[in-house]
Structure 1
Amino acid sequence: MKIMRRILVATAVAATTLAMAPAAQAAVNPVLAAPYLYQWENPQNPVTVMKATGIKSFTLAFVLSKGNCNPAWDGDRSLTGADITRVNQIRAAGGDAIPSIGGWSGNKLGPTCSSASALAAAYQKVINAGKFTAIDLDIENTDEFQNTGVQDRVMGAIKIVKQNNPGVKVVVTIGTNTSGPDSWGNRFIQRSKDLGAPVDVWAVMPFDFSSGGDMVTMTKSAVTGLKNKVKSVYGLSDDAAWRKSGLSSMNGHTDNAGEVVSVANFKSIVSWANSVHLARVSFWALNRDCDNCAGIGQGQYDFTKANAGFTG
């Protein structure tokens, strides 16, 4: 998910702000199958994609800090501007969206906000702006993920958000080794239990492992490691732990030279995810889901069509 996000250069989009759409239809779970769609560099029209693929939800990246713990799309666009217009268009077409807060680079809210309560207030602004029923916290890099103080601040903020919005689902997305979360990921999961922060779904990004190899096998191993950690920390059954776990793959060539998730690989991953009843399957990114956009030969929206087949 790191590719093309290291330089978050966004072009402001002029658009007429639509009246706030009502909350999405209850039948649409915005967490379940929602490929990432970033808003810079001419993103695809999500309604067109919905009609072509059957996908119902999108993970919109990224909400960052505009400074002083003030959230904004890509750190510079209003929370209620063109991005929410896009959310409303998705909802009018029968779908929904989940905002992704964080990412690999940029000025993130976790390190910028001075306390758990301030960070929770920033998350709340995002929820209110889009009437969102779920948020994705993409916690990466040394400033958020590999920082004990920020990890604990994020967990404290989640606890407050869930107290104030019990119906809002919280997804936490982190990196992983082939065997499951690393020591930082294991700490993060444990701290959610220690601090009483009710994370609904833990998702890992099973890529950037090596210069190649069997990505289906490595993905299964990484997500199984996540499931085992979730099972242990929360005292769950295998079935319940699978249903609290998820993944976000990367289509085509990943950041590591030679490592490729093919269309066939992703279809196999989705089939396996259905068999164990994961809570979430996504990929980075819809913007790269076209012939040669991800460095491989494929049909238009092949990965999104496969993602639409994930039913949990």
Structure 2
Amino acid sequence: MRRMRSLRTALTAAASAVAALALTAVSGAPAQAAAPLPAHVFAPYFESWTGESPAALSAQSGAKHLTMAFLQTATAGSCTAYWNGDTSLPVAAASFGTDIRTIQGRGGDVIPSFGGYTADTTGTEIADSCSDVDQIAAVYQKVVTTYDIPRLDMDIEVDALDNTAGIDRRNKAIKKVQDWATAAGRTLEISYTLPTTTRGLAPSGLAVLKNAVANGARVDVVNLMTFDYYDNAAHDMAQDTKTAAQGLYDQLAKLYPGRTPAQLWGMIGVTEMPGVDDFGPAETFTLANARQVYDWAVSKGINMISFWALQRDNGGCPGGGAADNCSGIEQNTWDFSRIFAPFTSGSTAPSDDFSLAATPSAATVTAGGSASTTVRTAVTAGAARTVNLTVSGAPAGVTASLSPTSVTAGGTSTLTLTTTSAAVNGTYQIVVGGASPAAAHSATYSLTVTGGNGNQCTAAPWSSGPVYTGSQQVSHKGHNWRAKWWTTGEEPGTTGEWGVWQDLGAC
């Protein structure tokens, strides 16, 4: 995965030499058996260089399991791993140990991940950097015993996919640490996170797995990065996830011919990038895509759902490009986490839940006037919690407000929609969202505007060439149209009710 910003302090110019150590002498920590991960787990990536607490964000988001990014060396040629390659964050209890124990105490866990885009392009991925297989294996063992974790992830991308010597060293080291874990009676799984095409692994990614088989290294999970395709094609990101995973399934079936279909699907993970990915708006993963992927993942019984990254699961930069601290689309904070969290085996529905409704659910207003509705909440399970309310979907010339903006479940709020004479005629779906610490729901209010001056064909005529982004308006064949999301080449009036263009009425 890409890291688009760097909060590292200045690194030392050279790493200190590391003496070769026997694998059994790396750590004085007891080799107790860590609890295995659930058979199906949601574990989004946590950006460990931001200074935030993984335990705090785990609790806020509801993501009980996290994939911790990334472990790498400080400089190429070193055999010592640090979090983010930062020498102030060694593999030690003082570096995230308290957070990890807190997460484990809540019934969750973390998956430390080696590599990532920055390491893989700078020669600081541990197996690319270090030429000693025993020392690489010793680093893996130290991470396992320091944090008492049951899985390690290898995030191998770009240049690291072409480093055949590093690939071979990595898999030999994996075999060594697996043999140690078996002898110690410890659970230890290995996952490979690899880039993918929409039809499965590219040859370079498949070669990593073939080398693992040749070295006797057990790969428990192959986690596909189902984003950043960079192929300049049109993308349905949910469908592309499904076809990429099916392609991987077919590849795994050839590598592991003795495994059943359920076992093969149980080896597969997918990592999405919520909202706009690094390529741009053409590869946008929506909340609707997330629900589709969740349902598909449950039906197939895959091992893991993840996304890049937890700190991006918010709507702080709608309409923007790829960012490392927001999704680039309109959403509530933790929307993607709430969709995926129930995927973890043993998860249950929220114990404290509520319902949300708008009464009445529709109104017609003449431009310049106003309409209001009562937003009602009710406790449906457990205790009453505070529900924070939001509203979205109001077009130009319409102002939406809620009073109050938070209620205790069972209470009500008033949604008021005030229009101006410049409002564009049409019917709009106004969405009221409600989120408590335990659950989230939404209700839709249909507002029809008539008699507005904004219904003239003053918007620029639609053309097949330009790129239109969400909320941009065009005129076409006597109607005004508004784009719901990024589009190009799709003619207004041809995409259907659920398509990209919303008909704002005749002009």
Residue matched to 1:218: 240
1:32 match: 41
Q: What corresponds to 1:165 in structure 2? A: 181
| Aligned mate of 1:79, from 91, 111, 115 | 91
Tell me the CA shift for residue 310 of structure 1.
1.3
Residue number among 152, 155, 160 corresponding to 1:138 in the alignment: 155
1:61-100 matches, cutoff 5 A: 61-67=69-75, 68-76=78-86, 77-80=89-92, 81-100=94-113
Query: Are 1:182 and 2:202 an aligned pair?
Result: yes
The 1:95/1:311 distance shift into structure 2, 3 A limit, reads closer
Q: Which amino acid aligns with 2:62?
A: G
- Residue segments in structure 2 that go unaligned for 5+ positions in a row: 11-28, 317-325, 346-507
Q: TM-score, normalised by structure 2?
A: 0.56
Between the aligned partners of 1:205 and 1:57, the Cα distance in structure 2 is 18
Number of residue pairs aligned between Structure 1 and Structure 2 = 301
Closer/same/farther in 2, CA of residues 41 and 48 from structure 1, 3 Å limit: closer
Go from structure 1 to structure 2 and tell me whether the alpha carbon gap of 1:119 and 1:24 turns closer, same or farther (over 3 Å shift): closer
Amino acid at match of 1:193: V
**Residue 465 of structure 2: aligned partner:** none
Ranges in structure 1 where 5+ consecutive residues have no aligned partner:
13-19
**Partner residue in 2 for 1:54:** 62
1 or 2, which has the higher helix percentage?
Answer: 1
Q: Hey, which of these two has a bigger chunk of strand by percent?
A: 2
- Please show how residues 90-129 of structure 1 align to structure 2 within 5 Å: 90-106=103-119, 107-129=124-146
Change (3 A) 1:62 1:196: same
Whole-angstrom distance in 1 between the partners of 2:267 and 2:36: 19
What's the CA shift string for 1:169-212, capped at 9, x where partnerless? 11111101111000111111112212111111111101112454
Is contact 2:116–2:157 with CA below 8 Å preserved after alignment? yes
Partner of 1:15: none
1:155 counterpart = 2:155: no
Instruction: Please give the per-residue CA displacement for 1:111-144, whole angstroms capped at 9, x wherever unaligned.
Output: 11103222111211211221111111111121x2
Structure 2 letter corresponding to 1:79: V
Q: Secondary structure at the match of 1:204?
A: strand
**Residues 100 and 147 of structure 2 are in contact (CA less than 8 Å); yes or no, is this contact kept in structure 1?**
yes
* Mapped partners of 1:108, 1:243: distance in 2: 27
Tell me if the contact between 1:8 and 1:105 (Cα under 8 Å) persists in the aligned partners: no
Structure 1 equivalent of residue 475 of structure 2? none
- TM-aligned CA distance change 1:118 to 1:23, over 3 Å: closer
Residue 352 (structure 2) pairs with residue 310 (structure 1) = no
- 1:10 matches 2:25: no
Structure 2 match to 1:234: 256
| SS at 1:202 equivalent | strand
Alpha-carbon distance between aligned partners in 2 of 1:52 and 1:78, rounded to the nearest angstrom: 26
Instruction: Indicate the residue corresponding to 1:283 in structure 2.
Output: 307
In structure 2, the CA distance between the partners of 1:282 and 1:249, relative to structure 1 (3 Å rule), is same
Moved more, 151-160 or 77-86: 77-86
- The answer to whether the 8 Å contact 1:34/1:307 transfers is no
Q: Percent of pairs identical after alignment?
A: 33
Runs of 4+ with >3 A deviation:
22-31, 45-54
Could you tell me how far apart the structure 2 residues matched to 1:54 and 1:281 are? 14
- Does structure 1 conserve the Cα–Cα contact (< 8 Å) formed by 2:156 and 2:193? yes
| More contact order relative to length (CA 8 Å, sep ≥ 6) | 1
> Rg larger in 1 or in 2?
2
Distance in 2 (alpha carbons) for counterparts of 1:105 and 1:199? 23
- Whole-angstrom CA distance in 1 between matches of 2:32 and 2:138: 21
How far 1:269 sits from its partner (Å)?
0.8
Map of 2:502 onto structure 1: none
More divergent stretch after superposition (282-291 vs 207-216): 207-216
Q: How far off is 1:66 after superposition?
A: 2.8
Give the whole-Å Cα distance in 2 for the aligned partners of 1:149 and 1:120. Answer: 15
Residue aligned with 1:224, SS: helix
Instruction: Give, as a single letter, the amino acid of the residue that structure 2 aligns with 1:222.
Output: A
Task: Normalising by structure 1, report the TM-score.
Answer: 0.89
Q: Distance in 1 between matches of 2:36 and 2:194?
A: 27
C-alpha separation between the residues in 2 aligned to 1:6 and 1:159?
33
Name the SS of the counterpart of 2:235 in structure 1.
coil
Question: What is the CA–CA distance in structure 1 between the aligned matches of 2:39 and 2:84, rounded to whole Å?
Answer: 21
Q: What code does the residue aligned with 1:270 have?
A: Y
Q: Which amino acid aligns with 2:342?
A: G
Shift of 1:145: 1.6
Q: Residue 82 of structure 1: SS of its match in structure 2?
A: coil
Letter in 2 for 1:228: D
Cα RMSD after superposing both structures:
2.4
